[in-house]
Structure formats: structure tokens, C-alpha cells
Amino acid sequence: MTESDQASASPVQALLDGLHQRHASDFSGEVASYIPELADADPSLFGICLVTAGGVTYETGDTRHRFTIQSISKPLTFALALEAIGEEGVRQHVDVEPSGDAFNSITLQPGSGRPPNPMVNAGAIATTSLIKPLGFEKPIDRILNEYSAFAGRDLDVDQDVFISENRTGHRNRAIAYLMKNAGVIDDEVEDIVETYFQQCSTLVDCHDLAVMAATLASTGVNPVSHQRVLREDTVQSVLSVMASCGMYDAAGDWLYSVGLPAKSGAAGGLIAVLPGQLGLAIFSPLLDEHGNSVRGVKVCEELSKELHLHVMSPARRPPPPIRSNQTVVQCRSRHLRQEAEQHLLTEHGSKTRVIELQGEILFAAGELITIAVLKDIEELEHVVLDFTAVRDIDPIVVPIISHLADALDDAGATMVFADVDRHPAFAEAVEKTRQEAGLPAVRQFPDLDLAIEWCEDRLIKQWSDSDHDREIAILDHAATVGMDPGEVEELSSRLERREYPAGTRIYEQAGDVDEMLLVVKGDVNIFTVGEDGHRHRIATFSEGMTLGEVAMLSGRTRLGFAEAAGDVVAWALAEKDLTDLKQRNPAMVCTLLENLVKLIAHRIGNLSRNLAA
């Protein structure tokens, strides 16, 4: 299915088509008349284009008809100026206050002589004056280069429109000379207004504008070309000014009723941005008394109402940062424990809290995590924070989490991180904070399972004196429970001793399934290789447990491959020997099989609990 087929099959498309149909017959308003090229515009032209932050395009009507960008250039050049000379430099030349005046207001601030904001002509001319060629032949080349990155294609100036604008733009020239007089602009007025008229005469279509808007929606990355066009902080500044001043003297009403940062142009273009989600552009040359496209304003109003796009909409609540908050009683590692140890974990596991985080961890999320932990900090021994489902962490959360780690220290508890590797800046910053305070680093584990296992190990060590380094005898192995010494001896005579140093591969997933192992010393990890190419532990077995008996008895492929975690000793029982023993001593084999079922039952219990958690 091609991308355009997808779009045409979609209800979003139907929505835009419906809007287009509803407003196409509205011929209220007037086309701009200050130059013949605009006055000649066909008033029936009408296009709507929506580009999502995911880069999907929906369009209806005249979305590929070219027209001049006009004032929609203003936020783009403001962005370029911010990145060229920085926030402070730009603010010396232009303020960010809505003027309540029309787009061509000549009012400058008393004292500073600065224009009120970069969205009125005066402010835009001041902003344009800040763009130096810097490696390009002329300022306009640098500007066009930026606009082209925004659109994702090479843009050009319409020379006829430029010549007309330049010939008739006396008011803008007057504004520029006033600013020159006030010392707000430095360079030659004629050069600056020429560049300004050129940038306003850049040819775009409705689709280009929607891609530009979507670039502002996608934190500055063009979602079609995937090129980063702006820094994130620049995007915030540009959207703020569009929100307060983008629609001239109708800006307050716009923010109130539409609630989207937006900008209109005299040729009939209009862009609106829903941060993080979508860019919208409308093209229709009929303008209202504020100079905004009549159909454009109506489409935005209806879309905002119908789709609840308003930035202040109460529907836009952030998701809770805590995906789950459990204890080791409910949520166990894949390390299969001895019965006695299981009981210990059930008894004392409530002191180990396992918190899965999710989404963007910003300030308020950090605060919620803190509250969730502090609530019963006195009863805690470990807190595992799992970052697997976290998309992003704000640097402000560093001190919050560091302080939380300190509070846990003070309460005699320990914080550990799982899967924090994907947020290295955060992890490093927390480590640095701890280091500077002379505190040990927060322990990190590559995944939640290993983090929980470490807490379990500590818990078991604390509450039991069992010694896992000792090799157990075959007659102490769970597989031989209920056998008399003669039976154990008969079984032993068929067993072959194996020693696996730490790290040895014990069996492959796809290997033969013609034997099983009775582990008498050490831990064995079972891993699978996931779709991501990484190994994932599915279980760990210890001394007293068996390995490979399910695969051997059922003839099924193993669930994973086995590797010695430490030095491992095990006794192998071949399938043919089991078959043979069944003939010779079926009662002993019955006991063995019953014991194996018990061991498997233990495993099923663990799997079921983890599935429930």
C-alpha cells in the first residue's frame, strides 16, 4: 500500500475534505490589493494540508499551488536570528510584547525604539537586519537556505512579486528608517528592506507550509526529511511569540478560541502548530480586516474545537510516570530459588520496592516518584527504579533522584537503577552528584531482572546462612528424594560427572535433547536471544535443581541456551540410560519422575507469578 493510498483511506482525510467542502463556498473577505500580483490572486483557491509529527501528510484542495510566503517568513527569520546571534542579542533589537496594533503599525517602544515584537512588519524588518551572509553570498541566500530546510525542498524568490513589493513598500521603508534613526538597525536601510521584501516573496505551497509547521511541532526536526532545522530552545521561543503575537491584533482572541501558535501571510497562507503532534497549513487568499485568511481562520477554529487541539485543553494531561509499583513479593527475578529461599522472599520481599517508570520524566513526574517512595520509606530496604519504558529524562530530575537516593541512604535503604544505560547523561549526572557528596554511586543493572536478583540475593544473605559454594551429594539432590540408598546408588552408576567453569556454554538451544543434568553446585543461566540481538535471561537454576529434563522427556526444543554463571558441577543422565533404568527398576524411575514433576511445578509457580505481575 502506498503512502497516498493510506492517506486517502483515512478518516483524517475525510475530515479535511469535509472542512474544505464546507468552506469552499465562503467568498467573504478581500484579497490583498497593495500590489497587483496579490490583487490578481484567484479567490477560489483553497488548500488544507496537515502533516503529523510522524511525517504523514494529509492534504485537500489547492495544496500544490505556489504563492508567496509573506509574513509567515517572520517566525522563520526570527528563529534564524535567535540561532545566529542568540536570545540576548535579538532582544536588544526587538521585544516580544503583543502590540494590540495592526501588522503594519509604525509604533516603536518609547525609550528603546524597539519594535514591539517580531511578528509585526517593524519587528520582522529588525530581525531580518540581524542576518549576516556568513558563508553565503547575500543574507537572502542564507535565509532561503534556512526556509528550504524547513520545507524540505529548495525554495526560490518570486522576482515579480519582489520587484512590486520593493517598488511600493514605502511604509515599510519608513518604518525601517525610523528604526535606523532609533539605532535599532545598523546596516543600510535599502539593503535590509530589499532582503525583507525578498524573503516575503519566497514561493511556497500549502504543503511546504504544513511541513514547516510540522517541523516546529517536532521540536525542530523536519519530520519528512528528518533533518534538524532548529534547536529545541529556539522552537520554544518561536512558538511562544507565535502564540502571543502571531495573529496581529486578533492574537488574544486566537489564543482564546483556537489556542495554537500560528502565523498568517498576506498572500493567504496560514500555519498553526500543535506542539509534539502536528503542523497545519491553509491557503486561501481572501483576507479579513486583520489581514488573516478568512477560510484559514475558520478551518483552524473548527479543527481546534472538533479535535481539541487547544494547547490549554484539559484533555492534554501528561501520563503518570509510574507504570507499576510492586514489591518482590509480587514480582520476582528469573533466578529460580530453593524452597526455603522462596519463603524468605515471600516473607521479607515487601521491603524491596520495584518501580517501573515510563514516558517523559519531567519535574512533576520526578516529584511524583519521590512522593511514592517517601510514603513508606521507613519500611524499605531496596528501591529499584526501572527506566526501560522511559523516553526522556529532564536534567532537573537529577537532583530530585539524587536527593531521593540520599534520603534512602539515611533511612538505611538502597536505591538501584535498571536499564538506565539508555539515558547516559542522566546516569552520569546522578553519579557525579553522589561523588561530589562523597557518596557511593547508585548501582546500575542492565535490566530489571538482574536488578531484582541482586536485591533478592542481598535479602537471602541477610536472612539465611545457607552456603551456595558447597557441592551437594547426589542423595541430597531434590531428584532423589524418597529413594532408598540402593536406588540412589543404581541411579548414580548411570550418572556422568561434569564440571563447567564459569562462563562455559553448557548446552545450545538447538542442540540434542538426549540428556538431562542434576546440578549439584553453582548457578546456571538460561538465555534466549531476542529480536534485538541481545541475550535475555529466562531463568537461573541452582544446585539441587535439574536442567534439560523437560526437553529430554518431551522431545521438544529447549527454551534457550545454558551457560555456567559461576563454577558449576552437574551429573548427566542420558535418555538411553533412563529408558534402560525404566526396564530394570521402574519403581525408582517413578520416584525420579515424580521428583522431576515437583521441580517443574516449582518453575511453573514462578512463571505464573511473573506473568500475573
Rg (CA), the chain: 35
CB of 454 to a copy of itself, least distance (A): 20
- How far apart are alpha carbons 607 and 613 in whole angstroms? 10
- How far apart are alpha carbons 415 and 476 in whole angstroms? 38
Q: Which is nearer to a copy of itself, 98 or 269 (CB)?
A: 98
CB of 157 to a copy of itself, least distance (A): 30
CB of 476 to a copy of itself, least distance (A): 19
- Interface with a copy of itself in residues 242-301 (CB under 8 A): 243-245, 249-253, 255-256, 259, 261, 274-278
**Dihedral pair phi/psi, residue 565, rounded to 5°:** -75, -45
- The number of CA neighbours under 13 Å toward the Cβ of 45 is 25
Binding string, 327-366, against a copy of itself, x = CB under 8 A? -------------------------------xxx-xxx--
State yes or no: residue 181 binds a copy of itself (CB under 8 A). Answer: no
- How far apart are alpha carbons 518 and 542 in whole angstroms? 10
State yes or no: residue 486 binds a copy of itself (CB under 8 A). Answer: no
Q: Which is nearer to a copy of itself, 108 or 189 (CB)?
A: 108
| Binds a copy of itself by CB under 8 A, chosen from 4, 6, 21, 33 | 6
- How far apart are alpha carbons 331 and 404 in whole angstroms? 23
- Interface with a copy of itself in residues 369-398 (CB under 8 A): 370-371, 374-378, 391-392, 394, 396
Size of the site for a copy of itself (CB under 8 A): 119
- How far apart are alpha carbons 352 and 230 in whole angstroms? 44
- How far apart are alpha carbons 109 and 96 in whole angstroms? 11
- Interface with a copy of itself in residues 555-574 (CB under 8 A): 555-556, 559
- How far apart are alpha carbons 115 and 125 in whole angstroms? 9
| Binds a copy of itself by CB under 8 A, chosen from 437, 473, 502, 597 | 597
* SS3 state at 317: coil
- Interface with a copy of itself in residues 41-70 (CB under 8 A): 52-54, 56
Q: Measure the CA angle with vertex 234, ends 228 and 237; round to 5°.
A: 145
Environment class of 504 (CB within 10 Å of its CB; exposed 0-12, middle 13-18, buried 19+): middle
Question: Where would I find the H helices in 464-512?
Answer: 485-492
Binding string, 497-536, against a copy of itself, x = CB under 8 A? -------------------------------x-------x
CB of 240 to a copy of itself, least distance (A): 4
Q: Which is nearer to a copy of itself, 53 or 418 (CB)?
A: 53
State yes or no: residue 21 binds a copy of itself (CB under 8 A). Answer: no
CA dihedral 447, 451, 457, 460 (to 10 degrees): -130
Q: Say which amino acid occupies 242.
A: M
- Interface with a copy of itself in residues 93-152 (CB under 8 A): 95-101, 116-117
Residue with cell 545457607: 466
Going across the sheet that includes 524-529, the strands are 505-507, 561-564, 524-529, 535-541
Select from 3-11, 77-85, 146-154, 163-171 the region that touches a copy of itself (CB under 8 A): 3-11
Binding string, 215-244, against a copy of itself, x = CB under 8 A? ----xx-----------x--xxx-xxx-xx
Q: Which is nearer to a copy of itself, 399 or 440 (CB)?
A: 399
CB of 317 to a copy of itself, least distance (A): 4
- Interface with a copy of itself in residues 395-434 (CB under 8 A): 396, 399-400, 402-404, 407
- Angle 139-151/206-217 helices, nearest 10 degrees? 80
State yes or no: residue 9 binds a copy of itself (CB under 8 A). Answer: yes
Binding string, 301-320, against a copy of itself, x = CB under 8 A? -----xxxxxxxxxxxxxx-
| Binds a copy of itself by CB under 8 A, chosen from 553, 572, 574, 577 | 553
563 strand-pairing partners = 505, 525
Three-class DSSP labels, 379-393: HCCEEEEEEEEEEEE
- Angle 339-348/448-463 helices, nearest 10 degrees? 100
Which set of grid coordinates corresponds to residue 326? 510492586
State yes or no: residue 590 binds a copy of itself (CB under 8 A). Answer: yes
> Which residues touch 348 (CB under 8 Å, ≥6 apart)?
459, 462, 463
- Interface with a copy of itself in residues 530-549 (CB under 8 A): 536, 538, 549
CB of 557 to a copy of itself, least distance (A): 9
CB of 488 to a copy of itself, least distance (A): 17
- How far apart are alpha carbons 29 and 370 in whole angstroms? 56
CB of 39 to a copy of itself, least distance (A): 28
| Binds a copy of itself by CB under 8 A, chosen from 10, 21, 28, 181 | 10
Q: Is the dihedral of CA 96, 97, 99, 102 positive or negative?
A: positive
CB of 338 to a copy of itself, least distance (A): 15
CB of 416 to a copy of itself, least distance (A): 19
Q: Which is nearer to a copy of itself, 44 or 240 (CB)?
A: 240
Residue with cell 500544490: 64
- The number of CA neighbours under 13 Å toward the Cβ of 410 is 8
CB of 290 to a copy of itself, least distance (A): 11
